[in-house]
Amino acid sequence: MVQRAEDTPDRTLIHDVTSEVSLSYGDVVRLAREYAGALIAMGCSSSNGSRIAAMLPNGAEAFVAQTGMAWAGAIFVPVSPSLRGQPLTHVLRESRAEVVLTLASCVPTLAEIWHDLEPGMRVVVIDDADTYNSDVPVIRREQFLASGLPVTAKPVNPEATRAIIFTSGTSGPPKPVALSFGAMDNYARHLFPDAGFEWSDDAGYYSPWGMTHALGSIGMSVAIHRGLHLVVRDRFEIDHFWSDVSKHNVEACLIISVSHLLWQQEEVDAEVNNPLRLVGMTPLIREYPDFAARFGLRISSIYGMTEIGPAITHLDPVSAESAGKPTDGYNCRIVDPDGLDVPEGTVGELMVCHADTRLLMSGYDGLPDATAKAWERGWFRTGDRFVVKAGQYCFVDRLTDSIRHRGRNISSFEVEGEALAHPAVAACACVGHRVSLPGDDDRQYDEDVRLFVVAAAAEMVDPEDLVKYLSEKLPAYMVPKYIDLVAEIPTNASGRSLKAELRLRPITESTWTRTAAG
């Protein structure tokens, strides 16, 4: 980045479509040096391992702040501006953040938990709004940047911690994942396999994903490695996707969990002759070949986690159930509960390692027991069930999300995939509804399949019709017994369904029951 800022300082590096701000390589380097100088003046540097919480929307300012922290030697902790209450307290306390960079609109949210945070926390407001709360001492942007002198950009230690990114928290409290400069660079380099493209001179990489997601936090690095400029929006909005792609010459992007919405959307003018050439799709939808043909692009499948990066990828996937093959440098195994390798075709837990272990997570920050539990002789336990078919690694389900029904393991992922293909379904989440078995042992139980469904816009979901549809797509034992029509699926900041919360919801009169309905 620094070299390009010297060679082509006026070349665009970031275009923020939300704020309509464009920054060149020269701009980003200049502003990041100012950020670094201000942080050092506040006493935040590598000498004391300072952690800086960036409670900012996805945008140009967040990436400038991220770069400035790197040059100051401080650790970047992305925090969703939508967090509040106990979840926000958890992230700020567990990360041991000393400074919060945020917007004025987030100050009242901080005020709600201010007395639960460590004394001495400092808050820097980086916009010009005047909405402050007297309980929270605030440092204004001008005061912050004027407090130090711009620093010279310098090489970083690849083993030093660059960021602490919290896990999704779908199975418990989010854990702080410590990632080195080397790990995040590895993630960015290998997010997409080499497609052999020669990108156009003004091609863009589109990333509307929040920086609390590891794949969002590496957006600028992905663009730089491929010679693209980064196009960012504060959130994914389907109504703006194709217009953003066309207007900003986006030739590559990552689509996380919303591919079915784009596929179901009626044709819009902006999708015709769009410039998009490569899409990273996670997870793959069943219609991915038709998706590629309709929009005139190539697709790369991606499987990964914050802890390990894009461990499995495949350009031009061979099937919808396949995540692909191990990415360069990675090795994968499928094991049984005793940690022994299982034969091809047998479902087990995926374990991952890398030829250079420094390029995966350094550990769960401040949680040595959790770190030790996650690793087994150099292999990371993903907690995901996989099966190998014809050399392809196929995702089955999370160990904690699989449903045990009458002696069979049911993949909630597969049930959700079929349900999402129904035109009236916008979102869904499949969980097991626990049913106790006769006897005194609470560990003996069965689970019935329960599906929470959000209807697509202007659509009505008829549970009986949906069950008939699924009965034609799934084995009988996988067809939901219960269907709940809901306004929304509870999710965390990364957009993942909070299934632990859904499992606790009781069956009510409004729950459609297959037995009762006949």
Task: Flag whether pLDDT at 443 surpasses 80.
Answer: no
Category of 511 on φ-ψ map: left (φ > 0), alpha (ψ -120 to 50) or beta: beta
412-420 and 463-471 helices, crossing angle to 10°? 110
Q: Around Cβ 468, how many Cβ atoms within 10 Å? A: 11
Task: Flag whether pLDDT at 363 surpasses 70.
Answer: yes
Both 35 and 127 in a single domain?
Answer: yes
Both 383 and 486 in a single domain?
Answer: no
What pLDDT is stored for residue 95 in this prediction?
Answer: 96
Q: Which of 126-140, 293-307, 464-478 has the lowest mean pLDDT?
A: 126-140
Q: Which amino acid is at 507?
A: I
The closest of 283, 282, 280 to 300, measured between CA atoms, is: 280
What pLDDT is stored for residue 167 in this prediction?
Answer: 87
Both 443 and 493 in a single domain?
Answer: yes
Q: Around Cβ 390, how many Cβ atoms within 10 Å? A: 10
What pLDDT is stored for residue 60 in this prediction?
Answer: 97
Task: Flag whether pLDDT at 190 surpasses 80.
Answer: yes
Query: Which of 351, 369, 398 corresponds to the end of one domain?
Result: 398
The residue among 399 and 119 whose pLDDT is bigger is 119
**Cβ pair 210, 237 in contact under 8 A:** no
The tens digit of pLDDT for each residue in 42-81 reads 999 877 789 999 999 999 999 999 999 999 999 999 999 9
The closest of 181, 155, 151 to 39, measured between CA atoms, is: 151
Both 242 and 350 in a single domain?
Answer: yes
Distance CA(511)–CA(483), nearest Å, equals 6
Distance CA(125)–CA(464), nearest Å, equals 52
Query: Count of alpha carbons within 13 Å of 335, Cβ hemisphere only?
Result: 15
The residue among 280 and 168 whose pLDDT is bigger is 280
Domain boundaries, position 470: 415-517
Distance CA(410)–CA(450), nearest Å, equals 12
Both 66 and 136 in a single domain?
Answer: yes
Residues 6+ apart with CB under 8 A from 501: 490
The closest of 94, 68, 238, 48 to 148, measured between CA atoms, is: 68
Does residue 90 form part of some domain?
yes
Q: Around Cβ 280, how many Cβ atoms within 10 Å? A: 21
Distance CA(222)–CA(232), nearest Å, equals 13
Task: Flag whether pLDDT at 98 surpasses 80.
Answer: yes
* Percent of the chain scoring above 90 in pLDDT: 72
The tens digit of pLDDT for each residue in 237-250 reads 999 999 999 999 99
Name the helix (H) or strand (E) containing 54. strand 51-55
- CATH code for the domain of 150: 3.40.50.980
Both 13 and 148 in a single domain?
Answer: yes
At 91, the pLDDT band (50, 70, 90 cuts) reads very high
> pTM to 2 decimals?
0.83
* Percent of the chain scoring above 70 in pLDDT: 95
Both 391 and 494 in a single domain?
Answer: no
What pLDDT is stored for residue 442 in this prediction?
Answer: 45
Does residue 406 form part of some domain?
no
Does residue 57 form part of some domain?
yes
What pLDDT is stored for residue 89 in this prediction?
Answer: 92
Segment 440-457 mean pLDDT: 77
Does residue 162 form part of some domain?
no
What pLDDT is stored for residue 323 in this prediction?
Answer: 93
Does residue 241 form part of some domain?
yes
- Number of domains into which the chain is organized: 3
- CATH code for the domain of 505: 3.30.300.30
Both 421 and 388 in a single domain?
Answer: no
- CATH code for the domain of 209: 3.40.50.12780
What pLDDT is stored for residue 195 in this prediction?
Answer: 84
The residue among 10 and 171 whose pLDDT is bigger is 10
How far is the first Cα of the chain from the last one, in angstroms, to the nearest whole number? Answer: 64
Both 246 and 336 in a single domain?
Answer: yes
Category of 390 on φ-ψ map: left (φ > 0), alpha (ψ -120 to 50) or beta: left
**Cβ pair 51, 58 in contact under 8 A:** no
**Cβ pair 209, 98 in contact under 8 A:** no
The tens digit of pLDDT for each residue in 13-40 reads 999 999 999 999 999 999 999 999 999 9
Both 202 and 303 in a single domain?
Answer: yes
**Cβ pair 412, 402 in contact under 8 A:** yes
| Cα distances (angstroms) measured from residue 471 to each of 293, 363, 449, 478, 486 | 29, 44, 13, 8, 22
The closest of 70, 83, 62 to 219, measured between CA atoms, is: 62
The tens digit of pLDDT for each residue in 118-127 reads 888 999 999 8
Q: What are phi and psi of 132, to 5 degrees?
A: -120, 165
Distance CA(297)–CA(277), nearest Å, equals 4
Both 133 and 91 in a single domain?
Answer: yes
Both 150 and 258 in a single domain?
Answer: no
The tens digit of pLDDT for each residue in 264-318 reads 888 889 899 999 999 999 888 889 999 999 999 999 999 999 999 999 999 999 9
At 191, the pLDDT band (50, 70, 90 cuts) reads very high
Does residue 170 form part of some domain?
no
Does residue 403 form part of some domain?
no
Reply yes or no: is the peptide bond before residue 283 cis, omega within 30 of 0.
Answer: yes
Task: Flag whether pLDDT at 171 surpasses 80.
Answer: no
Please give, one letter per residue, the 3-state secondary structure of 408-468.
Answer: EEECHHHHHHHHHCCCCEEEEEEEEEEEECCCCCCCCEEEEEEEEEEECCCCCCCHHHHHH
Distance CA(497)–CA(420), nearest Å, equals 14
Partnered with residue 482 across adjacent β-strands are: 450, 513
Q: Which amino acid is at 256?
A: I
What pLDDT is stored for residue 170 in this prediction?
Answer: 58
As separate numbers, helices (DSSP H) first and strands (DSSP E) second, the chain gives: 17, 28
Task: Flag whether pLDDT at 367 surpasses 60.
Answer: yes
Does residue 408 form part of some domain?
no
Give the tokens for residue 286.
């069943």
Distance CA(48)–CA(45), nearest Å, equals 6
Q: Round the average pLDDT of the chain to a whole number and report it.
A: 91
Residues 6+ apart with CB under 8 A from 380: 307, 308, 351, 352, 353, 360, 361, 374
Q: Which of 45-59, 347-361, 402-416, 493-507 has the lowest mean pLDDT?
A: 402-416
SS3 content of the chain, % helix, strand, coil (to 5): 30, 30, 40
Give the tokens for residue 451.
């599906």
